[in-house]
Amino acid sequence: MSPRIEIGDPVQYAAVASRILRAAWKPPCLHYSSEYLAWQFGFSSDVPKRAAIAFLEDLPVGCVAVTSRRFSCERESFSAYVLSFVGVDPSASRRGIAAALYESLLEALPRDVPVFAFAEPESIGERLLLSSFRRAAFRHHPLQACRAVGYLHRSTASTTAGLFVQETTTHDEFASLGRSSAAQDLVQTDVTREHWHHYRDDPRGRVMVAVRNSDGNLIGTAMLVTAETVSSDGVQRVPMLEGVTLSDPRPDALSALFRFAAGRSQPGAIVVASNLSYIDAAVVKAAGPRALPSSFSAHVFVRGQEHVVETAAALNLEVI
């Protein structure tokens, strides 16, 4: 029996997608609660929101969705999709449902809007992702791989004299660093005022922070979120640094962010950053975190006119 695919606004499918993803993904993985998915799908967007849901005999068994973000590259701002939330219920495996979901979703997306996606390197999922976009006539541009790092604060860790980190509640200040960057090879998240408020409404808990030097000048920003993951012991809360932006990437500034995150977390908690690929590896290592086993390939796909993202080397978005 062939699946029936419905295309619609992902917000209305949050509860359905939650059930599918929790059945499809086994620990360790993200906790795909309906509240988390409704928040992810709820970002304001000037491009159509789209999700594809597969049904067998009116039972929802598969999903894939895109959520919208604003980005900048070479000081050009634009909307783009982030594709994620892909899953097929194990009871419906080996029926070509994932391929059918991709085909239907990609057909429904407007031309000239880039699509970013992450995948486990050389996995079946990545091969299906690449082949699906190729069949839909998208061009493929690979970006630097995202390798997760973890930071465990130690009392003997070196201090970050002259720098201080604090929560910021001002959108214009938070967004200023990314918008002033002239980096030609980096796609940065351009946090609009609407997205700023939406980020702060993250049901898991999220804090926007700023790093300043001894003169009080802003030199970095980041977001600290309490992510929820599922392990063999159940749902775990993991502190994560996301969207790190530094005007001058240097170890003490990055270390200050990790130290702040550790100070806001449970004692002994490891602070994870899923994507610092756009910061020199030597700088990341000198800041104190250590490499974790997980890594993800980062891709951008474009259909239609040439786009500035096809010149980029890396993306500063957290792995979704």
At residue 156, does pLDDT exceed 60? no
Amino acid at 43: F
Q: Regarding beta strands 186-189 and 59-73, do their DSSP bridges make them parallel or antiparallel, or are they unpaired?
A: antiparallel
pLDDT the model gives residue 1: 72
Residue 144: other Cβ atoms inside 10 A: 16
Q: Is the pLDDT of residue 281 over 80?
A: yes
The answer to whether residue 16 scores a pLDDT higher than 90 is yes
Which segment of 41-55, 114-128, 170-184, 188-202 scores lowest on mean pLDDT? 170-184
Beta carbons of 273 and 244 less than 8 angstroms apart: yes
Spatial distance between the Cα atoms of 60 and 23, rounded to a whole number of angstroms: 12
Position 181 confidence tier, pLDDT thresholds 50, 70, 90 = low
Q: Is the pLDDT of residue 182 over 60?
A: no
Question: What is the arithmetic mean of pLDDT over 167-188?
Answer: 82
What percentage of the chain has pLDDT greater than the value 90?
A: 89
**Mean of the pLDDT values across residues 157-179?**
83
Among 106-120, 156-170, 211-225, 290-304, the least confident range = 156-170
Which pLDDT does position 162 carry in this prediction?
Answer: 87
For the chain, the average pLDDT equals: 94
Of 22-26, 207-211, 247-251, least confident by mean pLDDT is 247-251
Confidence of residue 183 (pLDDT cuts 50, 70, 90): low
How much is the pLDDT for 310?
96
| pLDDT digits 0-9 by tens, 132-152 | 999 999 999 999 999 999 999
Structure-block tokens of residue 91: 């009871």
pLDDT per position as a tens digit, 215-233: 999 999 999 999 999 999 9
Percent share of the chain, pLDDT over 70 = 96
Looking at residue 229, its pLDDT comes to 96
- Which H, E and C letters describe the chain, residue by residue? CCCEEEEECHHHHHHHHHHHHHHHCCCCEECCCHHHHHHHHCCCCCCCCEEEEEEECCEEEEEEEEEEEEEEECCEEEEEEEEEEEEECHHHCCCCHHHHHHHHHHHHCCCCCCEEEEECCCCHHHHHHHHHHHHCCCEEEEEEEEEEEEECCCCCCCCCCCCEEEECCCHHHHHHHHHHCCCCCEEEECCCHHHHHHHHCCCCCEEEEEEECCCCCEEEEEEEEEEEEEECCEEEEEEEEEEEEECCCCHHHHHHHHHHHHHCCCCCCCEEECCCCCCCHHHHHHHCCEEEEEEEEEEEEECCCCCHHHHCCEECCCCC
Question: Tens digit of pLDDT for each residue in 68-91?
Answer: 999 999 888 999 999 999 999 999
Domains and CATH numbers, the chain: 4-146 (3.40.630.30), 147-297 (3.40.630.30)
Q: Is the pLDDT of residue 184 over 90?
A: no
pLDDT for residue 157:
55
